[in-house]
Amino acid sequence: MNKKTIDYTEYAGKILEALPKGILLTTKAGTKTNSMVIGWGTLGTNWGRPVFAVYVRESRFTRQLLDENPAFTINVPLDDIDPRVLSICGSRSGRDMDKLEAAGLTPVAPSVINVPGLKELPITLECRVIYRQPQELPLLDKEIAGRYYPPVSDGQGGETYDTHVTYYGEIVAAYVIEE
């Protein structure tokens, strides 16, 4: 596989257009690689660095992997994404299965970090986490909090909220995977 280095800003429109339809966030810790579908994200500049910010629920296996290895790739299709990929990576847990294998995704060796890109979603941003912030629900607009964070059982007769952790990833490499 070849990687054509790109200026991520030239692909920003394509990335942001694909995001609400679902793109993949890939993580790796130890021998475990996992991809999950994301529909929220922010692409821009923070602290004078190019950044992609992702929002991962506390309960997700991806959060565990990101906390063990603070690096991730953003994987974006050039055209439409295979609905099977969205179904598997968006509804199954990497705790229980190898989602890449089940979805027919091919890992491609990274350039800078230790998390692979994906051949089938060739626009790749390699990101190194430079800041993480758990959400503080009382600081969130009440309408948004009510819509996205209803109380769930904590399994002990009480309630909890499955909020997100925001990970700011400095974009350290950007490329398109070519055959």
Dump pLDDT digits (tens) for 42-80.
999 999 999 999 999 998 999 999 999 999 999 999 998
Residue whose token pair is 């790739």 = 73
Q: Retrieve residue 176's tokens.
A: 């398109």
- CATH number of the structural domain spanning residue 136: 2.30.110.10
> pTM to 2 decimals?
0.94
Specify the number of domains making up the chain.
Answer: 1
Using alpha carbons, select from 109, 171, 122 the residue that is nearest to residue 24. Answer: 122
Dump pLDDT digits (tens) for 92-126.
899 989 999 999 999 999 999 999 999 999 999 99
Range of the domain at 79: 2-178
Contact at 8 Å (CB) between 10 and 176? no
Distance CA 109, CA 113 (A): 9
pLDDT of residue 41: 95
Please work out, in degrees rounded to the nearest 5, the angle formed at the alpha carbon of residue 131 by the alpha carbons of 129 and 133. Answer: 120
